[in-house]
Amino acid sequence: MWKFLLPFAAFLGLVVLFAFGLNPKRDIHALPSPLIGKQAPAFILTDVLDPQRSVSNAALKGQVYVLNVWGTWCVACREEQEALLAISRQHVVPIIGLDYMDEREKAKQWLEQLGNPYQAVAFDTDGRTAINWGVYGAPETFLVDGQGRVIYKFISPVTQEVWDREFLPRIEAARRNGA
């Protein structure tokens, strides 16, 4: 009896392991963010479009917002831009941009050409804000609740489908809890 059962159990174990480990939909480079549930790191940076204006997330306290990390060097961000524009027209939450490892002129051009889905775009000149947020690439998108806590992080381009599936329910829940 054991002779058959044990290898079979081991085989089943392997099937489960493979189903998880070799699942093509799982991005093995996506790291879980240790920031989830913690207070969002504060930043005060200049606006990419106007160096005289500052962008700070302290000003957003009390409302749910999205922080989208991008850069003109990031190919996937171009693809994401369209979806973000559509999402911004739905006026669900303010979308704040964090322009990372970039040049101001290039970023301005990009926003003029492709359209600007952001309420404001913070310009991270030296990558310090990105480090504080645990950013390791772009695009990365964070969702912050009304108490200023990071409640979700999405790595790779946001699409309308991702937005509807991952973001909207969390935004609604955050608003219910915050009320």
Note whether 101 binds another protein by CB under 8 A.
Answer: yes
Note whether 158 binds another protein by CB under 8 A.
Answer: no
Note whether 169 binds another protein by CB under 8 A.
Answer: no
Q: Binding residue for another protein (CB under 8 A) from 110, 133, 152, 163?
A: 133
Note whether 46 binds another protein by CB under 8 A.
Answer: no
Find the length of the chain: 179
Q: Binding residue for another protein (CB under 8 A) from 97, 139, 144, 158?
A: 139
Both structure tokens of 10: 């081991």
Shortest CB 124 distance to another protein, Å: 10
Q: Binding residue for another protein (CB under 8 A) from 157, 158, 163, 171?
A: 157
Note whether 104 binds another protein by CB under 8 A.
Answer: no
Both structure tokens of 73: 């060097």
| 47, HSE (Cβ side, Cα atoms, 13 Å) | 11
How far is residue 37 from each of residues 41, 122, 145, 162, 169, measured CA to CA in Å? 12, 23, 10, 21, 16
Query: What is the chain's alpha carbon radius of gyration, rounded to the nearest angstrom?
Result: 20
Q: Is the peptide bond before 41 cis (omega within 30 degrees of 0)?
A: no
Q: Of 171, 178, 176, which is closest to residue 94 (Cα–Cα)?
A: 171
Residue 18-37 contact track with another protein, rule CB under 8 A, x = bound: ---x-----xxxxxxxxx--
**Which parts of this chain interact with another protein (CB under 8 A)?**
2-3, 6-7, 10-11, 13-14, 17, 21, 27-35, 71, 73-76, 101, 125-128, 130-134, 136-140, 155-157
